[in-house]
Amino acid sequence: MDKVRNHPKIGDRIKVQPIRCIEDVNRVKVLLRNNVRDLALFSLGVNSALSPSALLHVRVGVVRNLRPGDSFEINGKSVTVNKSIKETIDKLLSAMSVVEDSDFLFQSKKLAGQPLGASTLHRLVKTWCADANLTGNFGSHSLRKTYGYIYRTTFKADLGQLARIFNHAYKRQTVDYLCLPQEELHSICMQEI
């Protein structure tokens, strides 16, 4: 019997990876430019540290009329709105037919009044990354991991700050979660005081 790809044995875990460079993030955005819902979902995901379930439970009233620099809270997590988040959410809200503040921002097409499902988000992220010719294992947590990875590697965010953002007890947990290379840990340990 052939092994099913990405099907773990009992007790095993498959770890999804972050998108590791801004150019690849932009490549996915270009692919999604004609799908306002998916572009807003991707943009909010990679520009915030929201977990997939928190991302899918954002309601319209929470994000309506926000400006860059404003913030909103979901599940105890504060998200600061940047230009990318504002633009994609505004386009999504404009494209949606009559929408109430209590409606989910990312609605299921199959179940009226319900948020998009986590398994659907996982499948969408896999599809977007495959369509952008990215190699690796991607899924719903890749959005959140991309946020942390890019902030760490490109903008030099401190591991302690990222650990707090991700609600991790230890920096090592954050290093593992973000799939940071072992060389970075070695480089940190080589610093002299």
Percent of the chain with pLDDT over 70: 88
- How confident is the model over 129-136, as a mean pLDDT? 96
Q: Look up the pTM and report it.
A: 0.87
Name the residue type at position 99. Answer: V
**pLDDT tens digits for range 95-123:** 998 889 999 999 988 888 899 999 999 99
Instruction: Label residue 58 left, alpha or beta by phi (over 0 means left) and psi (-120 to 50 means alpha).
Output: beta
Strand partners, 104: 59
**pLDDT tens digits for range 145-158:** 999 999 998 998 99
Whether 76 shows a pLDDT value over 90: the answer reads no
Look up the CATH superfamily of 22-189.
Intergrase catalytic core (1.10.443.10)
CB proximity list for 90: less than 8 A, separation 6 or greater: none
Confidence of residue 183 (pLDDT cuts 50, 70, 90): confident
pLDDT of residue 111: 86
Residues 44, 90 contacting (CB under 8 angstroms): no
Residues 40, 105 contacting (CB under 8 angstroms): yes
User: What is the spatial distance between Cα 13 and Cα 60, in angstroms, rounded to a whole number?
Assistant: 34
| Mean pLDDT for the chain overall | 89
pLDDT of residue 53: 94
Whether 3 shows a pLDDT value over 50: the answer reads no
Whether 171 shows a pLDDT value over 60: the answer reads yes
**3-state DSSP assignment of residue 26:** helix
Residues 57, 115 contacting (CB under 8 angstroms): yes
